[in-house]
């Protein structure tokens, strides 16, 4: 494989991780399988369209499984795959780092914005 392609591939995965809802969805699923509206409610603020889109992307990449129960009313469970649980490890590490250092980042932002004052 080529080095440049590697960079693109890595960027590709990182952008999936970086999109607006993926990390929240994956981390919620880290506690075990959830139904569509259970996810929707525990996350809060996400539209059904974006939850569907996010879950389809995660399913396509092999991070979650989608299980349909043909009952009435219908029921759909989402669960992390092994790959998804493996992904959770470095993602949580990054998340923990972000949580520990968010204050430093915010402080830097305020300083930066203050110097660019009106």
Partner DNA sequence: CGGCATCCGTGGCGATACTG
Partner DNA sequence: CAGTATCGCCACGGATGCCG
Indicate the residue among 30 and 74 with the shorter CB distance to DNA. 74
d(CA 23, CA 41): 16
Using CB under 8 A, pick the residue from 31, 68, 104, 118 that binds a copy of itself: 104
Using CB under 7 A, pick the residue from 48, 101, 106, 108 that binds DNA: 48
Indicate the residue among 6 and 19 with the shorter CB distance to DNA. 19
97: Cα separation from own chain's centroid: 16
Using CB under 7 A, pick the residue from 45, 70, 117, 118 that binds DNA: 45
d(CA 33, CA 39): 9
What token pair was written down for 82? 């092994």
């Amino acid at each position: 494989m080529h080095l440049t392609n590697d960079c693109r591939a890595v960027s590709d995965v990182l952008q999936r991780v970086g999109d607006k809802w993926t990390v929240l969805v994956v981390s919620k699923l880290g506690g075990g399988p959830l139904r569509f509206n259970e996810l929707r409610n525990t996350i809060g603020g996400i539209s059904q369209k974006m939850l569907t889109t996010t879950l389809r992307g995660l399913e396509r990449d092999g991070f979650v499984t989608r299980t349909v129960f043909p009952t009435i009313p219908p029921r759909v469970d989402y669960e992390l795959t092994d790959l998804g649980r493996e992904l959770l490890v470095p993602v949580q590490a990054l998340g923990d780092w972000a949580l520990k250092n968010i204050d430093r980042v915010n402080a830097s932002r305020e300083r930066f914005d203050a110097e660019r004052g009106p």
